[in-house]
Structure 1
Amino acid sequence: MRRITPTFFFAAMIAAAFFLIFCKEEGFHQRHWAFPLESQGSLTVDPNPASCASCHLQQFGSWKATLHSRAVGPGFLWQLPRIGKHGSENCMNCHSPNPETKTLLLSRLGWGEVSDSSWKSGSEENGVQCTSCHLRKGKVYGPFPKDRIFQNSNISHEGFIPRKEFEESEFCKNCHQSPGTSKQVNGKFLMDTYGQWRKSEFAKSNIHCQNCHMPDRRHEWKGISDPEMVRRGVQTSLQVLQKEEGAEIISELKNSGVGHLFPSYSVPKVYLEVWTESISGERRKISEKTLGWMLDLELQKEIFDTRLSPGESVLIRVNLSKEQFSKLKRVEFIVIVDPKEYYKRMFQDNWNYRDTFREDTKSWVLPNLKKALDEASSAKYELVRLEWKKTISE
């Protein structure tokens, strides 16, 4: 039998202390988001978000307007019959995490039966809902209260279990970061927002996802689809510098406040355009650039990657001759965001080949696909329009 020496015992104590100090928090995240989530079992609370609204009206109102609440939307639904039961269950880990809502959704596709009556039909349409983050095995979890004395005994649903991890970026990781064994394209994970954040100054400064996407704990989760949110994360400028040989137009966009690549995923694209208008009224685009990670429809090949790291800028420089500048009246720098560019391409391609779908799936697939295509096609918006006008002295 091996004898435990004092040195070995001391080393073991150090290792145990290291685990308790540095691995405890990670353990909570791993347990809380162990996919697939376990069944809640017998509930003493109504899992419907509308029921939570009786006490948490502000959070409910914010959530109702988010993409989280629409995670089980047409863009998700139309694909399920095509990827099958197993593939659908994997996607539902993030889009409809609770096993009870999974069962309801799978039953609609003819892939199972509903046995738990606590979760009413329609619950599956709520996407990522209150229970997805806050309920585990019938117990309610949440962050520590900020501005009032914590008296758990006075709170309904038998109180809740406060955890500081709700305000850490790791809480968002499981649904916004590809696992280490996942597919990569040109050495990059399809979802790498958490990894990008970890490498940034934001992580070093202890600025977490929640600080930007849930300010003051608002359940909004705004991102690339929200113009106001994006404007807060970038800086733009336009200059027209007159020179002896003519002039130079300099347009700039800087990732000044986004804690990860801008844009993060392969889905959105950001278009930078420089337009001029002549004295005669002729308007034309003289330069353009695209920011984003462009992949083919099969997500197998990288076409280009022009995303900006935190603090990085992109410049568009255009030189004009004296003659060109003399005819110039106005310059515009326009930034356009297409938050669903990849989806639009992919949905359109599938719609073009809709006649090849299985007949027994068309009644489910086609209406959802058409609606998803319409939504993606209407998502583009103008973020910024800067203008320079020539003065009389110029």
Structure 2
Amino acid sequence: MGLGSISPGIASPGIDSPTVAELAFIKQHWGQETILLQGQAPAHYSPLEASLLPQSCGQCHPQQYQDWKASLHSRAMGPGVLGQLMVMQENDPATARACWSCHTPLAEQQGVLKKNSNQFQKNIHFNQQLQHEGLVCAACHVRQHQRFGPPSKTGSTGNEADLPHNGFSPQSAFGKSVFCKKCHQFGEEGYSLNGKLLENTYMEWRQSQYAQKGVQCQNCHMPGRRHLWRGIHDRNMLKNALRISIGEQTKKLSVGDELKVSLKFENIGAGHHLPTYLTPRILVRGVMLDDAEQIIEGSLLEASIGREVPLDLSHEVHDTRIPANDFVTIDYQHPIDEYSYRLKIEVFVQPDYFYEKFYRSMLDSRSAGKGRSLIQQALKNAASSEYRLFEKTVLINRVAAKSAVTKNPFSMSNTTTDNPQTPLDWSDNRIPWYGYEQGLQKAREENKPVLLIFYADWCPTCHAYQQIFIRSDIQNASNNLIMVRVNVDEFPQISAAYADVGSYVPRTFLLDAQGNRKSISRYVSHK
């Protein structure tokens, strides 16, 4: 599958229009790499008023707290960052400090503080619980125990006598995109590849029509002032931003002719590149099927939308991201054979694609050190974030195709196709199947390799796959293996651990007796 044309990006000077007062507030509010220690709370503050913990804020702001708790901000100091920092803060405190500046920007959240330009010292005010909470309410709203926020919807001036913590200072800058700039935009001298900053979201927005129209980051990511900050991890958010269409095939094809179908991906709802950062990948997969819903061998083609860079960030492999109000076309091109009947297009989103590769590399190279268990958890979390955004199957306009049902006695029957939720029959009476943990233990005891299969009862291809196990030669071969199968709906965490090649089903893996992968059969032909 090849990348087609990318239309020219829309260039504009960008209009953020913050006032002089708003810019002055932003400079003071976000002017330090680390937010200065809050200091001693006023004597009349209650413990609740003096607390910087988000749970304390939630006592009076329950909706905002619940929104935040479900957001990525609350996981800004998740196992991946924590695992890296366990080693980094000792060996490279300067780099750790750069990470903290956005992930945990309060001085109270940082284990060491800068003493001078070259030295760091232990922070006696360090609060580990607060650090683990990630990007907390106080990071945006509290300075020296004074509260700041957007102007009240109810008309409050913020200084009424009955308000807790001496009220608040209303600031209109909370509703402007420039408020988000500190953590979503590198400076001009920041790290760049191929002439483009690694983090450039704010400037992407500035150059879009959204900025010209006065649409701010908060309009999409904090609708109605909700503290949601949803992005590419949220399927509905991306569906509203990315429109996918499949071009029509007009010419009737014969065997050997090349099928060419254009897929159009339009960024209709994101005010920045889609995706904006190098972490996510949008994977486009096309495959031809026969009339029994089985894959035509060799017809699987893939393309990706994103910014691909190696783990060492040394260069840019490609950049196929879609600017705001722009589009990209991807062409599926492959000759049809005598059984080609349908074209299936799927679009998968891997929000943590780069992190998944990075964590796996850390574990394989044993560089995770004492943060290994945290990195292992981070890898599972990253792998499980993948989801399917789009799926569509279209008939191929061709002269009559041969039927795979008559060619292959093990193809799906019509009954199976019409009832995909029917439980699968894996010839349990002839093949001893094991669960995951039981099977791995059995393999170690008998020193046998493992054939591991992930499946789902609703999957038509799985119904076709399971029928090959009625064959006597397959049953005989299974005597030399420990046969393990895992239902992905019942055991999603196990499935996520093997999702580095994708979360499709069926997936088949060959493991040695110690549970290490020996080879992977990603697409099994049943013909």
TM-score range, shorter chain: 0.7 to 0.9
Structure 1 residue 313 and structure 2 residue 327: aligned?
yes
Partner Cα separation in structure 1 for residue 80 and residue 92 of structure 2: 16
Change in CA separation of 1:341 and 1:121 when aligned onto 2, cut-off 3 Å: closer
Change in CA separation of 1:366 and 1:23 when aligned onto 2, cut-off 3 Å: same
Q: Which residue of 2 aligns with 1:141?
A: 148
Q: Which residue of 2 aligns with 1:270?
A: 282
Change in CA separation of 1:68 and 1:320 when aligned onto 2, cut-off 3 Å: closer
Q: Which residue of 2 aligns with 1:27?
A: 24
> Quick one: which of 87, 92, 104 aligns to 2:100?
92
Q: Which amino acid aligns with 2:264?
A: E
Structure 1 residue 258 and structure 2 residue 270: aligned?
yes
Shifted more, 309-318 versus 69-78: the winner is: 309-318
Q: Where do 1:230-241 residues align within 5 Å?
A: 230-241=238-249
> Quick one: which of 52, 56, 60 aligns to 1:47?
52
Q: CA deviation at 1:288?
A: 2.5
Q: Could you give the per-residue CA deviations for residues 338-382 of structure 1, whole angstroms, max 9, x where no partner exists?
A: 11111111111111111x66xxxx33x111121112212222111
Larger Rg: 2
Q: Where do 1:314-393 residues align within 5 Å?
A: 314-318=328-332, 327-354=339-366, 362-363=369-370, 365-389=371-395
Q: Which amino acid aligns with 2:205?
A: W
Partner Cα separation in structure 2 for residue 115 and residue 211 of structure 1: 36
> Root-mean-square deviation (CA), in Å?
2.6
Secondary structure of 2:110 counterpart: helix
> Quick one: which of 71, 74, 94 aligns to 1:66?
71
Q: CA deviation at 1:184?
A: 1.1
Partner Cα separation in structure 2 for residue 125 and residue 320 of structure 1: 50
Change in CA separation of 1:353 and 1:393 when aligned onto 2, cut-off 3 Å: closer
Partner Cα separation in structure 2 for residue 172 and residue 373 of structure 1: 28
Partner Cα separation in structure 2 for residue 105 and residue 228 of structure 1: 40
Cα pair 2:250 2:397 within 8 Å, conserved:
no
Q: Which amino acid aligns with 2:38?
A: Q
Unmatched segments (≥5 aa) in structure 1 = 1-20
Partner Cα separation in structure 2 for residue 393 and residue 59 of structure 1: 59
Partner Cα separation in structure 1 for residue 92 and residue 165 of structure 2: 37
Q: Which residue of 2 aligns with 1:132?
A: 139
Partner Cα separation in structure 2 for residue 273 and residue 314 of structure 1: 15
Change in CA separation of 1:245 and 1:368 when aligned onto 2, cut-off 3 Å: closer
TM-score (norm 2): 0.64
Among all aligned residue pairs of Structure 1 and Structure 2, give the percentage whose two residues are the same amino acid. 30
Secondary structure of 1:243 counterpart: coil
More helix by share: 1
Partner Cα separation in structure 2 for residue 304 and residue 39 of structure 1: 42
Q: CA deviation at 1:282?
A: 3.0
Q: Which amino acid aligns with 1:288?
A: E
Q: Which amino acid aligns with 1:217?
A: R
Q: Which amino acid aligns with 1:129?
A: V
Secondary structure of 1:79 counterpart: helix
Partner Cα separation in structure 2 for residue 352 and residue 67 of structure 1: 27
Q: Which residue of 2 aligns with 1:3?
A: none
Cα pair 2:252 2:398 within 8 Å, conserved:
no
Partner Cα separation in structure 1 for residue 226 and residue 270 of structure 2: 18
Q: Could you give the per-residue CA deviations for residues 241-278 of structure 1, whole angstroms, max 9, x where no partner exists?
A: 23255664232221111110011111111111122212
Q: Which amino acid aligns with 2:25?
A: F
Structure 1 residue 38 and structure 2 residue 44: aligned?
no
Q: Where do 1:103-182 residues align within 5 Å?
A: 103=111, 112-115=122-125, 121-146=128-153, 148-152=154-158, 153=160, 154-182=162-190
Partner Cα separation in structure 1 for residue 398 and residue 203 of structure 2: 52
TM-score (norm 1): 0.84
Secondary structure of 1:78 counterpart: helix
| Corresponding pairs, count | 359
Partner Cα separation in structure 1 for residue 106 and residue 347 of structure 2: 39
Secondary structure of 2:250 counterpart: strand
Secondary structure of 2:165 counterpart: coil
Cα pair 1:36 1:99 within 8 Å, conserved:
yes
Q: Could you give the per-residue CA deviations for residues 127-184 of structure 1, whole angstroms, max 9, x where no partner exists?
A: 10110000011110000122x2325304322110000100100000000111111121
Secondary structure of 1:242 counterpart: coil
Partner Cα separation in structure 2 for residue 138 and residue 276 of structure 1: 62
